[in-house]
Structure 1
């Protein structure tokens, strides 16, 4: 049996083809799998479980159907959907895991993360992350009207694009937005587990690190990206 890993789908109403591709993936390949792990950024933005978007409803329905068919789904929050909560998870019949999380794959442990905490050279982002993960900040944000939260999300996306544009102009985009090697080494050493799987950087690749193997999942902007783990075999490939 195969365990599937995906991340960084960034689903929203502006890219319906990718949402449809995800739907087909859930109805076809994901059915019959041991489990499906979604390692963050399932949605382009998530401002609360009361968001009435058609995409959110579609995904919840398809994931719930997958669970009824016998394939459990596990989710780690990303930097775009860190506000996804228990109410939506219940609708989608998926279990939210801590970041990082340790799971057993074919009798061996693996560390799962979204991956943004590994990018410690991006100081501006890490400061924003610290602020928005504070429970008090989240409670205050979620208490605002839906329209205000949606406006904030739009502003945050614009600010993120501006930040990345500035890094590109300075020639720092590749280095700053990728993982920091020292942080990867420290993380893998701390867990003492020789397999780390994460997303976030949109740089799909299998890396040989000092403390084991690090597998980076790809994004779903132009096509799908799936990691299939079956026994000792781990296949990372595109999904069209």
Structure 2
């Protein structure tokens, strides 16, 4: 049966080895009989460049490559933690890098794919930070630093992100309904799939009076979650450990 899988927000790093193990098992088993796997950002806790020599990355790259070589189409959208992932790692793994906003034909239905952080427009502090780190100048300067310095800065940004998450109101860090509707209107879609907020749910809504759906993917902090789509329908399901 035709099947497409969507995941996001795994936040893989060596401090959470159980999720590394779970993801590699997922790639060897559940993902193998899919037509395609879409990773919608924050696959990694942070990404400091394709030249990162962290030991756990080699095994992950090999597992992703094995999946793509098995015939499963593998796609990646940048998240707010791994926006520096580049063409060298994509080529190494067989992943195709997608645009920040990508529309696909999902068994006859147009679907807009995003990470989702660009929809959090009520969080003005974050949006200003996002604009800064997405500039070519900032990225070139960061990637020119030694690996140790980049890793130290990434750890500092992670600490600040965690602190902000504790102090900001939930409605500030969630997506803006107006931004959701604007994105769906611009791309003329009635289905939006994204991650980022760690609030998995299938939302039924109206956009300009037309029925639409917004599907939020689960994070993988404790267990894994995915969206499974077939020609018969779609559902959010747990990834078995």
Under TM normalisation by the shorter chain, which class is it?
over 0.9
Structure 1 residues 17-70: Cα deviation after superposition (integer angstroms, max 9, x where no partner):
111000111000111210000000000010000111122212110110011111
What is the aligned partner in structure 1 of residue 177 from structure 2?
181
Find out whether 1:231 has 2:231 as its counterpart. yes
Q: Report SS of the residue matched to 1:11.
A: coil
Q: Report SS of the residue matched to 2:31.
A: coil
Tell me which stretches of 4 or more aligned residues in structure 1 moved more than 4 Å: none
Tell me the matched-pair count.
235
CA–CA distance in structure 2, aligned partners of residues 196 and 232 of structure 1: 18
CA–CA distance in structure 1, aligned partners of residues 164 and 32 of structure 2: 39
Find out whether 1:146 has 2:147 as its counterpart. yes
CA–CA distance in structure 2, aligned partners of residues 30 and 222 of structure 1: 19
Structure 1 residues 114-172: Cα deviation after superposition (integer angstroms, max 9, x where no partner):
000011111111111000000111011101111110010011011112222222xxxx1
Q: In 2, are the aligned partners of 1:119 and 1:178 still within 8 Å (CA)?
A: yes
What is the aligned partner in structure 1 of residue 189 from structure 2?
193
CA–CA distance in structure 1, aligned partners of residues 179 and 121 of structure 2: 7
Give the CA deviation at 1:108: 2.1
Question: Any residues of structure 2 matched to 1:1-240 within 5 Å, and which?
Answer: 1-167=2-168, 172=169, 174-211=170-207, 212-240=212-240
Cα-Cα RMSD: 0.9
Unaligned runs of 5+ in 2: none
Q: In 2, are the aligned partners of 1:75 and 1:96 still within 8 Å (CA)?
A: yes
Q: In 2, are the aligned partners of 1:11 and 1:55 still within 8 Å (CA)?
A: no
CA–CA distance in structure 2, aligned partners of residues 189 and 210 of structure 1: 11
Give the CA deviation at 1:196: 0.4
Q: Report SS of the residue matched to 1:21.
A: helix
Q: Report SS of the residue matched to 1:31.
A: helix
Q: Report SS of the residue matched to 1:110.
A: strand
Q: Report SS of the residue matched to 1:30.
A: helix
Q: What is the TM-score normalised by the length of structure 1?
A: 0.96
Q: Report SS of the residue matched to 1:18.
A: helix
Structure 1 residues 58-103: Cα deviation after superposition (integer angstroms, max 9, x where no partner):
2110110011111011000000000000000111110000011011
Q: What is the TM-score normalised by the length of structure 2?
A: 0.95
